[in-house]
Amino acid sequence: MARLALASVSFRSMGTTVEVHAPAEQLARGVSVAMGLFERWDRALSRFRPDSELSALNRSAGQPFMASELLLQVVLRAIAWARTTDGVFDPTLLPQIERLGYTRTFSEIERAPLPPLDAAPTPGGAWRAVDIDPGRRIVTLPCGAGFDTGGIAKGMAVDAALEALVREGIETALVNAGGDLAVRGLPEGHDAWPVGVEGLADGVILLERGAVATSGPRRRRWLQGDVERHHLLDATTGYPVQGELATASVIASSCEEADVLATTVFNMGVAAGEKFLAARGLAGLFVTSDGRRLRAGFWPEGTG
């Protein structure tokens, strides 16, 4: 990004590396704002922090829980996306992914072997029984359910960080959280942001506005006994998706939308995923396990 006369700083938060790109004279202020926001979101929404609000919500399953405005909005948006995708995106798969061994941060999983599976996961769908009273900020999870914000909170945090930067007068910025990113404004003298996309090792896309996100299991794989697992689950089985794709990427107006829909179409596969994106006028890129790259919608040409 240096060729665009911008500066950047990266930091760790929400289990990934976050990058902030902004004009050099505004960067220090921008990074301070973004770091503060991501840390607040991580403290509230990490399922790996026993003192997080999300952990408290999950411990209260079966009982009404008074949520903060932040947690309430994330839950509301996640449930709305579950409805939109008819449950392909399911934020209530926490019990299933924990049975598969993802009970602590991935760095901790990498350091210690996991025992074999002792109880088979069950299908998802508990999101349909989540009761929400927005006016009173009351969320009630069904007994035995658990909420996992990992599939949406990162994208929402990227969008919120960009909005916070604009309020600080920083109108040209890019925020990237582990490859899920959004942009605001344009670098001086340029009509797009060149951004790399996983699966396009030899190229970039030129992003004029909005966001792009990629979903795939490459960074989140582990062994449970002698069986390989990953974090992208099929809600119909409770087990990791077994499909034709290595990654799925989506360009959308917000990082929230791109993040959720990249996960959704990865689960759907090429044919259903392409149809799903076409119905919404969105662009996508599917990279198959054998290396083929299949564009959907108006995905930019000449990008590798």
Q: Are 195 and 173 in contact (CB under 8 A)?
A: no
pLDDT value at residue 39: 97
What average pLDDT is seen over the chain? 90
- Give the pLDDT band of residue 196 (cuts 50, 70, 90): confident
pLDDT value at residue 204: 84
Torsion sign (Cα): 40, 46, 51, 57 = positive
The residue written with tokens 């404004």 in the block is: 185
Q: Where does residue 190 rank: exposed (0-12), middle (13-18), buried (19+ CB within 10 A)?
A: middle
Q: Does the pLDDT of residue 131 top 50, yes or no?
A: yes
The residue written with tokens 């990629």 in the block is: 214
Percent of the chain's residues with pLDDT above 90: 70
- Give the pLDDT band of residue 120 (cuts 50, 70, 90): confident
SS3 233: strand
Q: Are 119 and 96 in contact (CB under 8 A)?
A: no
Rounded to whole angstroms, the Cα distance separating 54 from 146 reads 9
Rounded to whole angstroms, the Cα distance separating 174 from 183 reads 4
- Give the pLDDT band of residue 3 (cuts 50, 70, 90): very low
SS3 137: coil
Rounded to whole angstroms, the Cα distance separating 144 from 60 reads 10
Q: Are 234 and 264 in contact (CB under 8 A)?
A: no
Tens digit of each residue's pLDDT (9 = 90 or more) over 33-92: 999 999 999 999 999 999 999 999 999 999 999 999 999 999 999 999 999 999 999 999
Q: Does the pLDDT of residue 203 top 80, yes or no?
A: no
Percent of the chain's residues with pLDDT above 70: 92
- Give the pLDDT band of residue 115 (cuts 50, 70, 90): confident
Rounded to whole angstroms, the Cα distance separating 203 from 37 reads 31
pTM across the whole model: 0.92
Q: Does the pLDDT of residue 150 top 90, yes or no?
A: no
Rounded to whole angstroms, the Cα distance separating 262 from 205 reads 16
Query: Quick one: angle between helices 153-167 and 255-268, nearest 10?
Result: 160
Q: Are 206 and 194 in contact (CB under 8 A)?
A: yes
Pairing mode, if any, of strands 138-140 and 65-66? antiparallel
The residue written with tokens 């899920």 in the block is: 180
Q: Which amino acid, 240?
A: P
Tens digit of each residue's pLDDT (9 = 90 or more) over 217-228: 877 776 777 777
Q: Where does residue 62 rank: exposed (0-12), middle (13-18), buried (19+ CB within 10 A)?
A: exposed
Q: Are 25 and 176 in contact (CB under 8 A)?
A: no
Q: Does the pLDDT of residue 1 top 70, yes or no?
A: no
Q: Are 94 and 148 in contact (CB under 8 A)?
A: yes
